[in-house]
Amino acid sequence: MNYFKYIYDAVNAATATPVYALAAPQGVTSDFIVLSVNGVAVSESKDWQQMEQVSATLFLHFADADDAQAELTAIRAYLKTVNNTFKQAYMESMQAFYNEQQESIILAADFTFLINY
C-alpha cells in the first residue's frame, strides 16, 4: 500500500501551498510543506480485517508564523471532514522552529492516520 499517496493526496487537497514527499527541491524560497511517513503499525482483527495506523509528520516551511498556523488549522479541519481511504486523522503534537538562515518558521506537526479501521 502506498501510504505516501493517501496522505499526500489528502494534504494536497487541503491546501494551495506546494506539498512535497520526503524533501523539497533545492532552492525553493516560497512557502511549502514536506510530508514524512515515520511509521506504520499493521494489525488484524479476529475476522482477518487488516487495520493500519500511519504516523506522519508535516513540516510547514513558511516565512510568516501566523500564515503557517492558519495553514495547519485549515489542514486539520479538512482532514476531520474528508471522506477518504483513512477513517480518521488527528494531530498528536506540534513543534515550532525558527530557521535563522532563511528567516522563516518551520512547524512540525505529527499526525496519526487510521486506515481501514
Condensed to tens digits (0 to 9), the pLDDT of residues 9-47 reads 989 999 999 999 988 888 888 999 999 999 999 888 777
pTM of the shown model = 0.85
- Counting other chains too, the contacts that 26-31 makes at CB distance below 8 Å and 24 or more residues apart are 29/102, 31/60, 31/61, 31/62, 31/63, 31/67, 31/68, 31/71
Render pLDDT for 65-93 as a digit per residue (tens, 0 to 9): 999 999 999 999 998 887 666 778 889 99
- In CATH, what is the architecture of 3-24+31-115? 2-Layer Sandwich (3.30)
| Residue 113 near residue 54, CB atoms below 8 Å | yes
Question: Where do the structural domains in the chain lie, given as residue ranges?
Answer: 3-24+31-115
Helices (H), the chain: 3-14, 65-81
Give the strand pairing for 32-44 and 50-62: antiparallel
Contact assessment for residue 113 and residue 53, using Cβ atoms and an 8 Å cutoff: yes
Q: What is the radius of gyration, based on Cα positions, of the chain?
A: 15
Place of cell 487488516: 50
